[in-house]
Amino acid sequence: MKHLTILGATGSIGTSTLEIVAAHPDRFRIEALTAGANLELFARQIERFSPRLAVVHDEKLAAELAAMLPAGVKPAIMFGVEGLIAAATMTEAEMVVAAIVGAAGLVPTAAAIKAGKDIALANKETLVTAGHLFMELIQRHGVRLYPVDSEHSAVFQSMAGHRCADIARIILTASGGPFLNLPLPALAAVTIEDALNHPNWSMGRKITIDSATMMNKGLEVIEARWLFALPPEKITVNIHPQSIVHSMVEYVDGSVIAQLGTPDMRAPIAYALSYPERITTGVKPLDLTAFAGLTFFKPDTERFPALRLAYRALADGESMPAVMNAANELAVEAFLQGRIGFTAIPELIERVMDAHQPCRLNSIADILETDLWSRVKTRELLPV
DSSP result, 355-374? T-------SHHHHHHHHHHH
Q: What is the pLDDT of residues 112-129, one digit of tens each?
A: 999 999 999 998 888 999
Q: What is the pLDDT of residues 221-246, one digit of tens each?
A: 999 999 999 999 999 999 999 999 99
What would the mean pLDDT of 101-114 be, rounded to a whole number?
89
Adjacent-strand bridge partners of 249: 170, 257
Q: Which residues contact 126 (CB under 8 A, 6 or more apart)?
A: 98, 105, 106, 109, 134
Query: pLDDT per residue over 273-317, tens digit each?
Result: 999 999 999 999 999 998 888 999 999 999 999 999 999 999 999
**Taken in order 186, 321, 102, 352, is the CA torsion positive or negative?**
negative
Q: Dihedral, CA atoms, 35, 36, 37, 40, nearest 10 degrees?
A: -10
Confidence band (pLDDT; 50, 70, 90) for 203? low
Name the burial class of residue 354, with classes exposed (0-12), middle (13-18) and buried (19+) by CB atoms within 10 angstroms of its CB.
exposed
Q: What value, to the nearest 5°, has the Cα angle with vertex 129 and ends 124 and 135? A: 80
Contacts of 19 (CB under 8 A, 6+ apart): 266, 282
Average pLDDT over residues 358-373: 93
**pLDDT score recorded for residue 73:** 85
Whether this prediction's pTM lies above 0.75 is answered by yes
Averaged pLDDT for residues 152-181: 94
- d(C-alpha 122, C-alpha 63), whole Å: 29
Name all domains of the chain by residue range, CATH numbers in brackets: 2-147 (3.40.50.720), 152-262+272-304 (no CATH), 317-384 (1.10.1740.10)
Those residues whose C-beta lies under 8 Å from the C-beta of residue 353, and which sit 6 or more positions away, are 309, 312, 313, 316, 320, 323, 324, 327
C-alpha span between 42 and 289 (Å, rounded): 40
For the segment 57-67, what is each residue's pLDDT rounded down to a tens digit?
Answer: 999 999 999 99
202: pLDDT strictly greater than 70: no
Q: What is the pLDDT of residue 381?
A: 96
